[in-house]
Amino acid sequence: AQSVTQLDSQVPVFEEAPVELRCNYSSSVSVYLFWYVQYPNQGLQLLLKYLSGSTLVKGINGFEAEFNKSQTSFHLRKPSVHISDTAEYFCAVSGSNDYKLSFGAGTTVTVRA
């Protein structure tokens, strides 16, 4: 089975500053990795995904993530955040032998002016 650990439960950040959200996974098989964002009173929206190939993945809204197999990490970054990036961010993993998606506990990002 796969599991995900999001290392930061809350990340406060000032507008136009960079942000990094950390995600580590554990799995004994090949994995597929995802970052989702949940704005208040909404469902989850896919930001980006890593399936295979290039380890640097670009997503929507200026976000990118880097897959690091040796460190079993998939950290999410944005070079300059906006107030509208205030949301809950979930890292998720599915394995090559499992249809179930395992979510991390989530990271609350609060962007202040």
Partner 1 sequence: DTEVIQTPKHLVMGMTNKKSLKCEQHMGHRAMYWYKQKAKKPPELMFVYSYEKLSINESVPSRFSPECPNSSLLNLHLHALQPEDSALYLCASSQGDRNSPLHFGNGTRLTVT
List the interface residues with partner 1, window 54-83 (CB under 8 A): none
Answer yes or no: are the C-beta atoms of 85 and 17 closer than 8 Å.
no
- Pairing type for strands 44-50 and 31-38 reads antiparallel
Q: Based on the shown chain and the rule CB under 8 A, indicate whether residue 34 belongs to the binding site for partner 1.
A: yes
Q: Based on the shown chain and the rule CB under 8 A, indicate whether residue 11 belongs to the binding site for partner 1.
A: no
Answer yes or no: are the C-beta atoms of 104 and 91 closer than 8 Å.
yes
Tokens of 83: 């107030």
Q: Based on the shown chain and the rule CB under 8 A, indicate whether residue 43 belongs to the binding site for partner 1.
A: yes
Which stretches of the chain bind partner 1, using CB under 8 A? 32, 34, 36, 41-46, 49, 51, 88, 90, 94-96, 98-101, 103-106, 108
